Amino acid sequence: MLLAPKPANERDRLQALLTLQVLDTASEDEFEALVRAASVVCGTPISLLTLIDSERLWFKAKIGFAGRTEAPRETSFCAHAILRDGIFEIPDTSLDPRFADNPVVENDPKIRFYAGAPIRLSSGHQVGVVCVVDQQPRKLDDNQREVLRCLAITAAKMLECRRAFIAQNQIAATLQTTLRELAVSKDQLRHLYEATPAMMHSIDAEGRLLMVSDAWLAKLGHARDEVIGRLSTDFLTEASRDYARAVVLPAFFKTGQCERIEYQMVGRDGALFDVLVSAIAERDGAGQTLRSLAVIEDVTARRRAERDLRASEARYRMLADSTNDVITQLDLKLDRRYVSPACRGMLGYEPDEMLRITLAAQIHPDDELQARKTMELLIAGSLPGDRAMTTSRLRHKQGHWVWLEAGMTLVRDPDTGAPLHLICSLRDISERRRVAQDLEQARLAAERAAWSKAEFLANMSHELRTPLTGILGIHDLMRSDPTLAPHHRRSLGLACEAGQSLMAIINDVLDFSKIEAGQLTIETVPFDLASLVEACRDFVNEDAQQKGLRLEARVTGGTAALLGDPIRLRQILLNLLTNAVKFTERGSVIVEGRYRPETARLRLSVSDTGIGIGPGQVASIFERFSQADGSITRRYGGTGLGLAICKRLAELMGGTIGVVSDLGRGSTFFVELPLSVSEAAATRQVAPAEATSGPRRVLLAEDNPLNQMIITDMLRQRGHTVTVVGDGQAAIAAMEGGVFDVVLMDVQMPVLDGFSATRAIRAAQAASGHVRTPIVGLTASAMHEDRERCRDAGMDVHVAKPIEWHRLFATIEELIYAARGTVETPAATAAAPGPLALDIDVLHALREVIGAERFAIMLDAFVLELQQRIVELDHMADPDLAGLAHGWTSMAGHFGFTELQQVCGDVEIAIRRGGCPRGSGLLQSAARRAIAAAASLPRSKAA
């Protein structure tokens, strides 16, 4: 026979049992009813509520054990049951080796079946068992086990309530005895009422309040003089008042006592309180009631918890049985205790089958650790709100895996806060995950398509720009011939304009494609608003003059440098200005830039007196490939992409674009952008003082024969020596066998491309310790990725075709001087160009106006002044430096030294606003670049 060991907390358990004051007490109907319910539900002839003392089992209630009140502990099954948290069940004791030789099995009462649920007090001590017994083998089903468990919980609550009731009665009896023994006076009794922390009141024979305790007043929110003399029932709800008048008070005045009468009291603010009232009456010699003493216990929280629990359990059962989600209850060991019927459709199992399958046996191995860890953290109280969400896979009865989302909630004991069990809601998310995977595949496919599109655009850009570069280059060469006849020069000019128009269309298409692919980067650098607006005005000035239009530029809102993307702003403004000039036959075009510091917003607007736009077309003009109507395209040309690009650029910069137009009277296009003020102007690059253009040794790596001819001729016109190779491998060989000042490297060539060739050249120079030769990347692609690849490969500069010759020549000089260590940083790449050292168009325009001879004298004088004043800049005070910068600003603008003009303006503004510590250095750098640019001009062009 297997003897049950005593629990580790046996001493504390016995003390908890003794505090119940229930051992060897008389039978009580409530407990007898409980075991009768157990016998009926479980279908057994015997049921017991046993309390386990140190050496015996004492029966508080029993069915079927006539004449017995206790049994030895050592032969009892209940001694084993209190060692477990759940149901302890022995279907057939005669077949169980642990109990087959037990005396109660072999002899009377010949027990064959036993099932017991431990009675666990709120303190955690298991003091007894609710058990069912039969003399025939049997097995409980799940519902019977659940009922037996619930009856054990109920028994624990009943025992604790009994103990509380005894304690309360003892208090009441003690108080009554004390009152009688002391025979206190009314004043003494009133003092007792006022001093006690309990809710108490006393009523007379008519039910009117004689005294109330301070706690009573505090709970209901009344003052004492407001309640004395009023009926005690005035402070009850209507239902409780009717019950008191009809039942309780008549019985109380007859018997002189009442115990734990449940009422609802009403506070002054309308709040309701659930209370239990116990009272005794003080009678005179004739037995008439003089007054009463009532003790009132506030059980509002307890009743609310009980109601909430009942409602919660009802909702839980209803939802569990009706929802498509599977609801499960797990104990603290993560064993399932309940599974809702929805498991049939979701996992293919019956609920009772699910109860027999452990979580570890059903969950996917890859998900088990995370799920178990989450539940353990939840039980430990480590997760906020006692809630958690996990995703895992459970095996379907047919063998496949089902993806489930599990929402878990920890249920706690309402009195102690101790964790009781977990409630899990399982939702099938297999379809959701499939859709998500499909969407991810679609996203990846879209990205691959976008990259394919980008690569296609890069290739198309190369294929379109390469022949166009040749065409424009030939025209440039022919126009540079001083013997060319005027009518031939005009024809070549028209051809160049057509080529430039075609290039603009290509650029529009590429820009829009880059925007749509999310590959266009917006920069944030300091820039001068006035310079930007005026430069855009100057760009269209010649076209406006040819049409007889008045062209104005206005800038308001301060002269501070702003932070933004001047290249994209210039692109927007030039598009709006060229449109305005194109669609205006007479009148004016006004471009305005207005910055509002108080709102940190920039507004750019272009107003014209042109053809205007009808109300029906305004909504569509910012859509791609759209113009106001088809006749505009036929008459003025264009792709219909310009305004769409402007709109997308404005949105990328966080702004908006709009138009106000009157058909036949003109339009105003405006752009509004949020821009902040720059704390300091952008740092300019430093150019050498001795920058003069001389013959250079140039290695040209270019596979296209036409481009070879054009580039070679343009370089040789400058006096440079040019070595031409047709592929990257030949370029590497040329670098190994010769010395060059600069390399012009096409990026797409046969045998070995320009990127690979550049990397090989850089590696060889690094290994040998040779001076780093400047390399300029030449590409027909305008894509951002190609500029990045040029830089990553080791190229110093990226120049897009068709080549702007004055920019290329200036860049070559800058790179050469940088390689000699006379420049602080490499020249700015064409990927992010700053202001040009020299705008050749402005220079030519001035020469045409004042004449070549006078122009040469004025240019030489300005360059001489720059050379003489550079050495003085370091010793100038800020006021003198600002005055010099002011004077240089206008002169630089006249000759087209746009970088010098902008630097002078920035330095002057900075000094006026408080100082510019690097002002002299910035002016020296810009002046040296201007001198170098002027020196690089053939005297035939300068004079």
pLDDT tens figures, 317-340: 676 666 788 989 999 999 999 898
Collapsing DSSP states into helix, strand and coil, what is residue 800?
A: strand
CB contact burial 224-246 (16+ within 10 A = b; e otherwise): eeebeeebbbebbeeebbebbee
> Residue 184: pLDDT above 60?
no
> What's phi and psi for 558, nearest 5 deg?
100, 165
Structural domain spans, the chain: 10-165, 184-298, 305-428, 435-511, 529-677, 835-943
How far is residue 939's CA from residue 941's CA, in Å, rounded to a whole number?
Answer: 5
Question: Which candidate, 238, 201, 233, places its Cα nearest to that of 217?
Answer: 201
| pLDDT tens digits, one per residue of 707-723 | 787 788 788 877 889 99
Quick count: other Cβ atoms within 10 Å of Cβ 922? Answer: 23
- The confidence band for 823, taking pLDDT boundaries of 50, 70 and 90, is very low
Cα–Cα distances (Å) from 472 to 218, 468, 499, in that order, read: 98, 6, 7
Residues 530 and 559: beta-carbon distance below 8 Å: yes
How far is residue 741's CA from residue 815's CA, in Å, rounded to a whole number?
Answer: 9
| pLDDT tens digits, one per residue of 688-698 | 333 345 678 99
DSSP state of 245: I
Lookup result for tokens 């022949």: 467
Residues contacting residue 447 through CB under 8 Å, at least 6 positions apart: none
Collapsing DSSP states into helix, strand and coil, what is residue 75?
A: coil
Identity of the amino acid at 904:
C
> What's phi and psi for 175, nearest 5 deg?
-65, -40
Q: What would the mean pLDDT of 599-617 be, rounded to a whole number?
A: 88
> What's phi and psi for 742, nearest 5 deg?
-155, 150
- Reported residue count of the chain is 943
How far is residue 584's CA from residue 18's CA, in Å, rounded to a whole number?
Answer: 106
> Residue 827: pLDDT above 50?
no
Cα–Cα distances (Å) from 357 to 331, 349, 363, 708, 796, in that order, read: 14, 10, 10, 80, 69
Q: Which two tokens stand for residue 371?
A: 């799920």
Give 879: exposed, middle or buried? Use CB within 10 Å, 0-12, 13-18, 19+.
exposed
- The confidence band for 486, taking pLDDT boundaries of 50, 70 and 90, is confident
Query: Higher-confidence residue: 800 or 512?
Result: 800
How far is residue 661's CA from residue 609's CA, in Å, rounded to a whole number?
Answer: 10
Question: Which candidate, 581, 799, 629, 819, places its Cα nearest to that of 700?
Answer: 799
CATH of domain 529-677: 3.30.565.10
| pLDDT tens digits, one per residue of 885-900 | 877 876 787 677 888 8
How far is residue 764's CA from residue 758's CA, in Å, rounded to a whole number?
Answer: 10
Output the pLDDT for position 784. 57
CB contact burial 657-689 (16+ within 10 A = b; e otherwise): bebebeeeebbbbbbbbebeebeebbebbbbbb
CATH of domain 184-298: 3.30.450.20
Give the pairing type, strands 742-746 and 697-701.
Answer: parallel
- Range with lowest mean pLDDT among 44-48, 351-355, 797-801: 797-801
DSSP H helices in 74-185: 78-81, 103-106, 142-182
Q: What would the mean pLDDT of 822-841 be, rounded to a whole number?
A: 44
How far is residue 129's CA from residue 88's CA, in Å, rounded to a whole number?
Answer: 10
| pLDDT tens digits, one per residue of 799-817 | 876 677 767 887 887 777 6
Output the pLDDT for position 461. 61
How far is residue 156's CA from residue 60's CA, in Å, rounded to a whole number?
Answer: 12
Q: What percent of the chain has pLDDT over 90?
A: 36
**Sheet architecture: strand order including 257-266:** 209-212, 199-203, 289-298, 272-283, 257-266
How far is residue 440's CA from residue 101's CA, in Å, rounded to a whole number?
Answer: 67
| pLDDT tens digits, one per residue of 227-262 | 999 999 999 999 999 999 999 999 888 888 888 899
Cα–Cα distances (Å) from 876 to 687, 883, 925, in that order, read: 20, 10, 16
Q: Which two tokens stand for residue 738?
A: 């010769």
Output the pLDDT for position 848. 64
- The confidence band for 510, taking pLDDT boundaries of 50, 70 and 90, is low
Give the pairing type, strands 601-608 and 666-674.
Answer: antiparallel
Q: What would the mean pLDDT of 404-414 be, rounded to a whole number?
A: 91
> Residue 392: pLDDT above 70?
yes
Output the pLDDT for position 513. 67
Q: End-to-end distance of the chain based on CA atoms, in angstroms?
A: 125
Give 61: exposed, middle or buried? Use CB within 10 Å, 0-12, 13-18, 19+.
buried
Output the pLDDT for position 492. 75
What is the rounded average pLDDT for all residues in the chain? 82
Quick count: other Cβ atoms within 10 Å of Cβ 1? Answer: 14
Output the pLDDT for position 686. 37
How far is residue 835's CA from residue 489's CA, in Å, rounded to a whole number?
Answer: 29
- Range with lowest mean pLDDT among 66-75, 200-209, 480-489, 846-855: 846-855
Output the pLDDT for position 514. 64
Output the pLDDT for position 310. 75
Residues contacting residue 671 through CB under 8 Å, at least 6 positions apart: 572, 573, 576, 603, 604, 605, 646, 650, 655, 656, 657
Residues contacting residue 33 through CB under 8 Å, at least 6 positions apart: none
Beta partners for 281? 292
Identity of the amino acid at 739:
V
Output the pLDDT for position 23. 93
Compute the radius of gyration of the chain from its Cα atoms.
49
| pLDDT tens digits, one per residue of 735-777 | 988 889 899 999 888 889 999 999 999 888 888 777 788 999 9
> Residue 833: pLDDT above 50?
no
Question: Which candidate, 146, 157, 159, places its Cα nearest to that of 331?
Answer: 146
Output the pLDDT for position 354. 92
The correct CATH number of 305-428 out of 3.30.450.20, 1.10.357.10, 2.40.30.20, 3.40.50.740 is 3.30.450.20
Question: Long-range contacts for 408-415 (Cβ within 8 Å, ≥24 apart)?
Answer: 408/374, 408/375, 408/378, 410/378, 410/379, 410/381, 410/386, 412/386, 413/122, 414/305, 414/309, 415/122, 415/305
Output the pLDDT for position 259. 86
> Residue 56: pLDDT above 80?
yes
Output the pLDDT for position 10. 92
Quick count: other Cβ atoms within 10 Å of Cβ 718? Answer: 18
How far is residue 189's CA from residue 210's CA, in Å, rounded to a whole number?
Answer: 11
Cα–Cα distances (Å) from 747 to 503, 744, 776, 780, 787, in that order, read: 20, 10, 10, 9, 11
CA geometry: angle 260, 264, 268, nearest 5 deg: 130
- Range with lowest mean pLDDT among 428-437, 567-576, 602-611, 884-893: 884-893
> Residue 501: pLDDT above 70?
no
User: How far, in whole angstroms, is CA 571 from its chain's centroid?
Assistant: 34
> Residue 381: pLDDT above 80?
yes
Residues contacting residue 663 through CB under 8 Å, at least 6 positions apart: 611, 612, 613, 614, 615
- The confidence band for 455, taking pLDDT boundaries of 50, 70 and 90, is low
Same fold, 10-165 and 305-428: yes
The answer regarding whether domain 10-165 maps to CATH 3.30.450.40 reads: yes
How far is residue 546's CA from residue 681's CA, in Å, rounded to a whole number?
Answer: 36
How far is residue 202's CA from residue 193's CA, in Å, rounded to a whole number?
Answer: 9
Output the pLDDT for position 477. 63
What is the pTM (predicted TM-score) of this model? Answer: 0.34
Quick count: other Cβ atoms within 10 Å of Cβ 13? Answer: 21
Output the pLDDT for position 824. 33
Question: Which candidate, 935, 920, 430, places its Cα nearest to that of 686?
Answer: 920
- Four-CA torsion 918, 919, 925, 927, nearest 10 degrees: -170
| pLDDT tens digits, one per residue of 775-791 | 999 876 555 566 778 88
Output the pLDDT for position 558. 63
Q: What would the mean pLDDT of 96-118 be, rounded to a whole number?
A: 91
